[in-house]
Amino acid sequence: MKSIVSVFLLSFSLQAFEYNLVPQKLMKDVYCFFGKPESISKENGGNMVNTCFVQTKEGFVVIDSGPTFSYASQAYEQMQNIAKLPVKYVINTHDHDDHWLGNSFYKNKGALLIGPKTYEQNIQQDMATRMENSVTKETYTGTKVVKLNTVVKENYTFSLGDTEFHIMQLVKQAHTKGDLVVYIPKKKVLFAGDLVFNDRISSLRDGSIIGSLKALELIDSLHPKVIVGGHGYRTDSNATLVFKVYLTTMKKQIQEALENDISIDEISKKVQMPEYRKMKLYDILHRRNVFDAYRELELYDEDE
Ligand SMILES: [Zn+2]
């Protein structure tokens, strides 16, 4: 009895937060874990983000490593149930920490980490991460900030097995100042990171409404069959649509308001976009998005 109790305690302390990750197969060799369309909380342990993995003959490539060390370790267990193969590369789409704090787990396993230059700038800050401040200590156990092996300036292509991975920064600033997409031409699948949102409102806090719209246009011009965003469940070839309409509507209404000399103090009342009120995170993010977009559009010249 004593040994049963100690085995239980041991496994409990090794796995403090149970993410219950279930890989969803999008096509042959391509899988994702879909997080909930909500904010980070103690209850979800940061599992509000999408992460994906691609199987090749020589190993896995992971796109975004998730919110914690233990998330990554539980994702890895699921991968090993599919095939006993190593994780060779982890690609980080951008520097928001819900997308990459699983890196240290994969680095320990010998994977090479690839990401944008904004990641390098931001990990030099010696302070608690947003995730660390938002989930429990147990959930965060083992999570470390680690350096990249490869920093992508604009484009970077590599092959693993017989699969080619194209990593591209499509515009200077969209969701952040360093957003990478991962495109697999052979499969016509594109991992868009936070350039694509579904099932919830996005945040423009580090981004650009003009750049985001340009990036969405460039994604569509590649004609992917499958598009996976950083948040939300939709993954068809039109997965850019909801976010595109949200931003286009906001841009149009703010530009009209600017023409009518509406000040920044009045703008959030003018651009409420009530058709989105039922969408998750509207109350938290929409007003702020309108302010950020207003500041940008005030200085923006369409013809430039
Ligand atoms: Zn995100």
pLDDT at position 207, please? 97
pLDDT at position 15, please? 52
DSSP-assigned letters across all residues of 267-280: HHHH---GGGTTSB
Instruction: Output the tens digit of pLDDT for each of the chain's 304 residues.
Output: 445 555 554 444 455 799 999 999 999 999 999 999 999 999 999 999 999 999 999 999 999 999 999 999 999 999 999 999 999 999 999 999 999 999 999 999 999 999 999 998 777 767 899 999 999 999 999 999 999 999 999 899 999 999 999 999 999 999 999 999 999 999 999 999 999 999 999 999 999 999 999 999 999 999 999 999 999 999 999 999 999 999 999 999 999 999 999 999 999 999 999 999 999 999 999 999 999 999 999 999 877 6
Domain ranges of the chain: 19-239
> Up-side HSE of residue 206: CA atoms within 13 Å toward CB?
13
| Nearest one of 153, 148, 228 to 184, comparing CA atoms | 228
Q: What pTM value is reported for the model?
A: 0.93
How many A from CA of 39 to the centre of ligand 1? 10
Three-state DSSP class for residue 72: helix
How many A from CA of 157 to the centre of ligand 1? 23
How many A from CA of 2 to the centre of ligand 1? 44
Sign (positive or negative) of CA dihedral 36, 102, 209, 235:
negative
Reading the block at residue 273, the tokens are 């976009």
For tokens 């796995």, name the residue: 15
How many A from CA of 93 to the centre of ligand 1? 9
pLDDT at position 210, please? 98
How many A from CA of 259 to the centre of ligand 1? 33
> Up-side HSE of residue 142: CA atoms within 13 Å toward CB?
21
pLDDT at position 304, please? 65
Q: How far is CA 300 from CA 169, 210, 216, 254, in A?
A: 22, 9, 19, 12
Answer for the pair 168, 219: CB distance below 8 angstroms, yes or no.
no
Which segments of 54-129 does DSSP mark as H helices, in order? Answer: 69-82, 103-108, 117-123
Reading the block at residue 135, the tokens are 């989930």
How many A from CA of 9 to the centre of ligand 1? 34
For tokens 């700038």, name the residue: 121
Answer for the pair 197, 230: CB distance below 8 angstroms, yes or no.
yes
pLDDT at position 301, please? 82
How many A from CA of 76 to the centre of ligand 1? 20
| Nearest one of 139, 82, 165, 148 to 114, comparing CA atoms | 148
pLDDT at position 1, please? 47
Residue 58 buriedness (CB in 10 A; 0-12 / 13-18 / 19+): middle
| Nearest one of 73, 150, 164 to 116, comparing CA atoms | 150
pLDDT at position 3, please? 53
The CATH number that domain 19-239 falls under is 3.60.15.10
